[in-house]
Amino acid sequence: MAKLWKGRFSAGTHPLMEAFSESISFDRELAQVDIRGSLAHAKMLAEVGLISKKDLAAIRRGMAEIKTEIDEDEFVFSPQDEDIHMSIESALTKKIGDPAKKLHTARSRNDQVATDLRLWTRDKIDWLDRLVEALQKSLVELADKNRKLVMPGYTHLQRAQPVLLAQHLLAYVEMLARDRERLQDARRRVNRLPLGSCALAGTTLPIDREIVREELGFASLCENSMDAVSDRDFVIETLAALATMFIHFSRFAEDVILWASGEWGFLRLHDAWSTGSSIMPQKRNPDLLELTRGKTGRVVGSLMTILTVVKGLPMTYNRDLQEDKEPLFDAVRTAEATLACLAEFVPTMTFNEQRAKQMLEGGFLDATVMAEYLVENGLPFRSAHEVSGALVRLAEESGRRLCEVGLAEMKEICPLFQEDVFLRLDPAKTPGSYKSAGSAGTKEVAKALTRWKKRLR
Ligand code: ARG
């Protein structure tokens, strides 16, 4: 099959080269946005008089047919067409003849592919935003359903202080909110139009880029033709936002894996989301979460790919840039699939309240609150810390909890203790006395739940 750029060549392409350089096997993903871009370009060409109204009508008719064929899975994506842009253009030429040959007026595949990829990325960001929001909703509902459940909070994976489970879950809602902000922020810079930059220098023809911008809903134009065709920082930013989001998914996955372990015994995985072992009949494996953690490597890898592809590229377009698509497509697909699963999985999480109680019992989780009690009664914090530490040692040595140490023994170490200290010494009740804004206690968590339910409505 003759190439659209065949003019100055006499010999054909080596079949290995053809296979090596084709992108149609993956950039067919851009088919719909390529058509959208071409239609906007054609409309502009007609408005400025570079093609006739009749040409435009023919292009619209041909493109509509192609779109239907693609929608119905009847379009033939042939490797000889090299990429999606050539593929659609040659299909159009077959359908409508001469008017199709005018479509590429004042356009290059360089500004065309950059435009397509921006349109595609913009749509995907909007879709991903809704998926992340759905996951946030699931987490808020789960937090609300378990709003009374107190558990140990950890630092260094050592039990530290009692917290509400809801606070732990809402921490992920906050992370996801920032992930959405990052995607929105990337979107602002994705949302600029490269088309009209042509190969790299613009054109001598009297085009009007504003018409195309308006038609495709871009907020502004890429203002420098060379920059427009050669940079892929919008891909980098999008992938960086996705990689960061996956770091959060991965941490969530790790928490759930720990909770579901026999050692923790805090969470029972629903049948629908666990897998068995082919040899050990007792197993319930958290494969969804392990795969989520694993796929994080893949998305971070995609970010590394695009960073490395763009690094050191001379201006302007280089074919290296064809390597921008697969990492982006793969990361977005992976994000869509992961988000869909997680949003469905979260509502099935059921916690073992008995186990939460046991976990609160050991570990002197009320030691910090005891120190704060002494601070309220006038002791400098460093001294209060020491007193509380001494009492922990005393209790530990005698196999007791802090609340089981008698007031007299306490007074011996520090006379500031009064009977009311015992009101503070039940870890299960500690969250009731956290006061600071954003704390893990009853009042602040209730406020946070109300706030999130309102925001996510
Ligand atoms: N398939 C190419 C890509 O994805 C399209 C642009 C090719 N431009 C060119 N001058 N060869 O980057």
Q: What is the pLDDT of residues 363-385, one digit of tens each?
A: 899 999 999 999 999 999 999 99
User: Count H helices, E strands: the chain?
Assistant: 18, 6
pTM, 2 dp = 0.94
**Domains of the chain, first to last:** 6-105 (1.10.275.10), 110-353 (1.20.200.10), 358-455 (1.10.40.30)
Name the DSSP letter for residue 428. Answer: T
Query: What is the per-residue pLDDT across 375-417, written as a single tens digit (0 to 9) for each?
Result: 999 999 999 999 999 999 999 999 999 999 999 999 999 999 9
pLDDT of residue 10: 77
| Phi, psi dihedrals of residue 351, rounded to the nearest 5° | -100, 150
pLDDT for residue 1 is more than 60: no
Tell me the best of 109, 313, 328 to mutate to test the pocket of ligand 1, counting ligand atoms within 8 Å of each CB and taking the most: 109
Q: What is the pLDDT of residue 280?
A: 76
Q: Is the CB of 22 under 6 A from ligand 1?
A: no
**Between residues 223 and 363, which one has the greater pLDDT?**
223
Of 426, 448, 449, the residue nearest 437 (C-alpha): 448
CA atoms of 64 and 252, how far apart (whole Å): 45
Q: What is the mean pLDDT of residues 155-174?
A: 97
CA distance 204 to 253: 56
**pLDDT by residue (tens digit) across 287-311?**
999 999 999 999 999 999 999 999 9
Residue 78 pLDDT class (50, 70, 90 cuts): confident
DSSP 285: B
* Centre of ligand 1 from the C-alpha of residue 318, in Å: 8
Work out the number of other CB atoms within 10 angstroms of the CB of residue 158: 8
- Residue 259: strand, helix, or coil: helix
156 belongs to the catalytic site:
yes
Mean pLDDT rounded to a whole number for the chain: 96
The reported pLDDT for the residue numbered 6 is: 74
- Of 171, 169, 168, 159, nearest to 368 by C-alpha is 159
Asked whether 388 lines ligand 1 (CB < 6 A), one says no
Spatial separation of the C-alpha atoms in residues 263 and 260, rounded to whole Å: 8
Centre of ligand 1 to C-alpha 412, Å, is: 81
Which residue has 């956290």 as its token pair?
A: 434
Using DSSP's 3-state secondary structure scheme, residue 406 falls into coil
What mean pLDDT do residues 43-60 have? Answer: 98
Provide mean pLDDT across the span 25-52.
98
Q: Which of 20-34, 296-310, 425-439 has the lowest mean pLDDT?
A: 425-439
Q: How confident is the model at residue 346 (pLDDT cuts 50, 70, 90)?
A: very high
Find the 424 Cα to ligand 1 centroid distance in Å. Answer: 68
Say how many C-beta atoms besides its own lie within 10 A of residue 333's C-beta.
Answer: 12
Query: For the ranges 57-71, 83-97, 422-436, which has the lowest average pLDDT?
Result: 422-436
Catalytic residue list contains 277 = yes
Q: How confident is the model at residue 275 (pLDDT cuts 50, 70, 90)?
A: confident
> Residue 351 is which amino acid?
F
Contacts of 54 (CB under 8 A, 6+ apart): 99
Q: Which of 156, 225, 230, 383 is catalytic?
A: 156
* Percent of the chain with pLDDT strictly greater than 90: 92
Is residue 238 in contact with ligand 1, taking CB distance under 6 Å?
A: no
Tokens at 57, concatenated: 């009508």
User: Residues 126-135: what's their mean pLDDT?
Assistant: 98
Marked catalytic residue, from 21, 25, 52, 277: 277
Burial of 1 (0-12, 13-18, 19+ CB in 10 A): exposed
Q: Output the CA torsion sign for 358, 363, 366, 370.
A: positive
For the CA atoms of 382, 386, 388, 394, the dihedral, rounded to the nearest 10 degrees, stands at 180
Cβ count near 329 (within 10 Å) = 18
* Calpha distance 362→386 (Å, rounded): 20
Q: Which of 132, 109, 129 is nearest to 121 (CA)?
A: 129
Protein residue with its CA nearest to atom 11 in ligand 1? 319
Which residue has tokens 């009007």?
A: 208
Supply the residue whose CA is at minimum distance from atom 12 of ligand 1: 322
349: number of Cβ within 10 Å:
20
Distance (angstroms) between ligand 1 centre and the Cα of 94 equals: 22
Q: Tell me, what's the pLDDT at 451?
A: 98
Ligand 1 neighbourhood includes 83 CB (under 6 angstroms)? yes
